[in-house]
């Protein structure tokens, strides 16, 4: 389809809004785009927002491809219609609604709550912003059938989102996600959305649930005696203007830590994120102010959470007394190692425990679990798949910890999404555990590499915006799928896991094996030298992601930097050999 044909279709979609029951400000903006910015008009109306790994997410603004009260309203009404079908005999249907610090988050949350209430649902609406994992906890605590949190996680300030949860407290997965979209797509007129709320159906919740949630997190502590001996350990924490501002320091204190320093400028909740370019704890710049504070107070640990409080980035001191940032794989390995080691030491491993990681997360986690005879599961990218495994094994096996390379972790079963509030507390406890042995977390990480092998990973994001960008990304995936490389960096490709076709291709035996995981547009290449390359389009952002994982041997502590450099070069060489795609 050429641009002229596309523009004609887009204008037809935009005219529906101009003729419909939309506010005058919205109509004026559409008219302005039609007259002055056809490219923006196309991007705003060429499609409807769809559920990805994080639900509904997009740039705020006017149009079917934007986050606004109308797209939020249609998604909510579609969700309502689906919930009614699924729980027709349940009596009173209950839902919970939370929101983060982003611009328009409260507006979208109140809009959602009103629509729920107008559909005769009992609505539990948080009084003010709260971390995403507390929404998951609220669904389970109040016995809700569903829930919504308004957030775009770590995306830039222009974005917002609508994450839908199911009765188990996990994000919706297939078939519910697709069925909800189908219900929303049946709504062809905005007048079908019940925007007028019924106030008596909305209950405001707040401090009382905070207390129960944080008390539950406290039960995860394995080493209170060690914390007591190291309670003066210095911790610097920043919420990067987000929802962790109250609950993370509160939980750290409940665990017994007394020296908690914050960054005052970033304690202010603000959807414009004025002190950072991006509120993403994966990016070093987001932790810059916290690191300055850490140097000032000579801290042992630095932690930063994203705006909705479900992901955490950390920094620790190296042997030169310099703060270094750990990536998500490293932090996950430290958490898994601590939780399994501490349980083993205290005789709390009974043989029915398990951990979960995503397919793009380091195999180091599996190695650690294997040592302690703890079962491990691999799932697709997205914490909703971790929640699904927990649900399937509830009451049969004990879930210890789950993690993904993108800085999300979870312990225990009372929350069903990644939880930076509990993760901060457990990371601090792991730091105290190491310090009690005269070590830092940095030392502990090197110990892990000495025992299990030096796993090194890198993520490369390639951003492709708009409709043309989406088409470029799909072509890259098609090219890799239809004409895959036989060697990468002079190492033969042994296996290709195609999660879209749910097939593994063995390039040595030429046999094919079925993949039992849900279909997903992901390709994974396993090389003869043990390297792993995974490729997938992002489900929440206009980018394609390349995940690289290599492994080396670390035989003594003094060789750490040397082996790290060799592994870095190996990843550089792999990227160079994939030059036509990257």
pLDDT above 90: percentage of residues in the chain: 90
pLDDT of residue 155: 87
Give the CATH number of domain 454-577; options: 3.40.50, 3.30.310, 3.30.200, 3.40.720. 3.30.310
Average the pLDDT over 112-135 and give the result: 98
Least Cα distance to 205 among 84, 95, 69 occurs for: 95
Q: Given pLDDT bands bounded at 50, 70 and 90, which one contains residue 117?
A: very high
Least Cα distance to 332 among 417, 410, 395 occurs for: 410
CB 298 within 8 A of CB 329: no
pLDDT of residue 52: 58
Q: Given pLDDT bands bounded at 50, 70 and 90, which one contains residue 3?
A: confident
Q: Given pLDDT bands bounded at 50, 70 and 90, which one contains residue 54?
A: low
Rounded CA-CA distance 135/216 in Å is: 14
Going edge to edge, which strands form the sheet with 312-317? 259-262, 234-238, 301-305, 312-317, 323-326
Q: Given pLDDT bands bounded at 50, 70 and 90, which one contains residue 212?
A: very high
- Taking only the tens place, the pLDDT of each residue in 213-268 is 999 999 999 999 999 999 999 999 999 999 999 999 999 999 999 999 999 999 99
Least confident of 40-44, 130-134, 552-556, 577-581: 577-581
Which three-class secondary structure state does DSSP give residue 229?
helix
Average the pLDDT over 177-181 and give the result: 85
Q: Which of 153, 362, 423, 440 is catalytic?
A: 153
Is 440 annotated as catalytic? no
pLDDT above 70: percentage of residues in the chain: 99
Rounded CA-CA distance 274/531 in Å is: 40
End-to-end CA distance of the chain: 27
Q: DSSP for 65-130?
A: TSBSHHHHHHHHHHHHHHHHHHTTTSSS-EEEEEE-SSTTHHHHHHHHHHHHHHTT-EEEEESS--
pLDDT of residue 466: 80
- Whether residue 582 is predicted with pLDDT greater than 90 in this model: the reply is no
Average the pLDDT over 9-17 and give the result: 95
- Whether residue 48 is predicted with pLDDT greater than 90 in this model: the reply is no
Q: Which helix (H) or strand (E) holds 400?
A: strand 398-404
Query: Does the fold of domain 454-577 match that of domain 65-205?
Result: no
- Taking only the tens place, the pLDDT of each residue in 505-557 is 999 999 999 999 999 999 999 999 999 999 999 876 789 999 999 999 999 99
- Whether residue 87 is predicted with pLDDT greater than 70 in this model: the reply is yes
> Rounded to 5 degrees, what angle do the CA atoms 184, 186, 188 make?
100
Give the CATH number of domain 65-205; options: 3.30.43.10, 3.40.120.10, 3.40.630.70, 2.60.120.680. 3.40.120.10
pLDDT of residue 570: 98
CB 546 within 8 A of CB 462: yes
Q: Given pLDDT bands bounded at 50, 70 and 90, which one contains residue 465?
A: confident
Of 49 and 321, more confident: 321
Q: Quick one: how far is CA 15 from the chain centroid? A: 36
Dihedral angle of Cα 559, 563, 564, 567, to the nearest 10 degrees = 180
Average the pLDDT over 328-353 and give the result: 98
pLDDT of residue 541: 73
- Taking only the tens place, the pLDDT of each residue in 478-498 is 999 999 999 999 999 999 999
Rounded CA-CA distance 86/144 in Å is: 13
pLDDT of residue 18: 96
- Whether residue 53 is predicted with pLDDT greater than 70 in this model: the reply is no
Please tell me the CATH code under which domain 233-451 is placed.
3.40.120.10
Summary mean pLDDT of the chain: 95
| Domain chopping of the chain, boundaries | 1-46, 65-205, 233-451, 454-577
């Amino acid at each position: 389809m050429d641009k002229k044909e596309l523009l004609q279709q887009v204008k037809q979609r935009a005219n529906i809004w101009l003729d419909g029951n939309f506010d005058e400000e919205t109509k004026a903006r559409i008219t302005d785009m039609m007259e002055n910015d056809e490219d923006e008009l196309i991007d705003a109306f060429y499609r409807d927002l769809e559920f990805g790994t994080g639900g509904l997410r997009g740039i705020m603004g006017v149009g079917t491809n934007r986050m606004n009260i109308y797209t939020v309203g249609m998604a909510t009404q579609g969700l309502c219609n689906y919930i009614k079908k699924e729980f027709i005999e349940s009596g009173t249907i209950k839902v919970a609604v939370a929101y983060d610090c982003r611009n328009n988050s409260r507006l979208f949350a109140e809009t959602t709550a009103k629509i729920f209430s107008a559909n005769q649902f009992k609505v539990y609406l948080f009084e003010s912003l709260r971390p995403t994992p507390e929404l998951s906890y609220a669904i389970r605590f109040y016995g809700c059938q569903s829930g919504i949190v308004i957030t775009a996680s770590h995306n830039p300030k222009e974005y917002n989102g609508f994450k839908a949860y199911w009765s188990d407290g996990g994000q919706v997965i297939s078939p519910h996600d697709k069925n909800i979209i189908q219900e929303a797509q049946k709504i062809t007129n905005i007048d079908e959305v019940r925007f007028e709320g019924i106030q008596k159906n909305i209950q405001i919740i707040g401090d009382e649930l905070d207390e129960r949630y944080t008390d539950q997190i406290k039960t995860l502590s394995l080493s209170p005696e060690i914390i007591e001996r190291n309670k003066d350990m210095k911790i610097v924490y920043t919420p990067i203007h987000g929802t962790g501002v109250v609950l993370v320091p509160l939980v750290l204190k409940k665990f017994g830590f007394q020296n908690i320093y914050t960054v005052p400028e970033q304690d202010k909740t603000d959807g414009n994120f004025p002190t950072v370019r991006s509120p993403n704890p994966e990016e070093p710049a987001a932790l810059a102010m916290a690191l300055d504070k850490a140097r000032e107070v000579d801290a042992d640990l630095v932690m930063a959470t994203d705006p909705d409080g479900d992901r955490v980035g950390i920094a620790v001191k190296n042997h030169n007394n310099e703060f270094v940032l750990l990536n998500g794989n490293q932090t996950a390995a430290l958490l898994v190692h601590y939780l399994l080691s501490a349980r083993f030491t205290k005789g709390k491993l009974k043989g029915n425990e398990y951990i979960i990681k995503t397919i793009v997360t380091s195999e180091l986690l599996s190695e650690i679990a294997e040592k302690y005879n703890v079962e491990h599961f691999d799932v697709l990218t997205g914490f909703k798949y971790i929640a699904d495994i927990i649900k399937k094994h509830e009451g049969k096996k004990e879930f210890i910890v789950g993690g993904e390379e993108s800085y999300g972790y979870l312990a225990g079963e009372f929350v069903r999404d990644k939880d930076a509030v509990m993760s901060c507390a457990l990371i601090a406890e792991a730091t105290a555990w190491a310090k009690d042995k005269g070590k830092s977390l940095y030392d502990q990480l090197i110990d892990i590499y000495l025992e299990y092998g030096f796993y090194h990973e890198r993520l490369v994001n390639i951003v492709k915006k708009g409709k043309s960008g989406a088409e470029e990304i799909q072509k890259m995936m098609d090219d890799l799928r239809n004409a895959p490389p036989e060697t990468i960096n002079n190492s033969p490709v042994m296996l290709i896991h195609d999660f879209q076709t749910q097939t593994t291709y063995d390039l040595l035996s030429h046999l094919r094996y079925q993949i039992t995981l849900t279909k997903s547009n992901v390709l994974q290449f396993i090389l003869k030298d043990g390297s792993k390359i995974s490729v997938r389009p992002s489900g929440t952002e206009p980018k394609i992601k390349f995940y690289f994982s290599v492994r080396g041997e670390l035989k003594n502590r003094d060789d750490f930097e040397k082996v790290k450099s060799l592994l870095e070069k190996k990843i550089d060489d792999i990227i160079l050999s994939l030059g036509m795609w990257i």
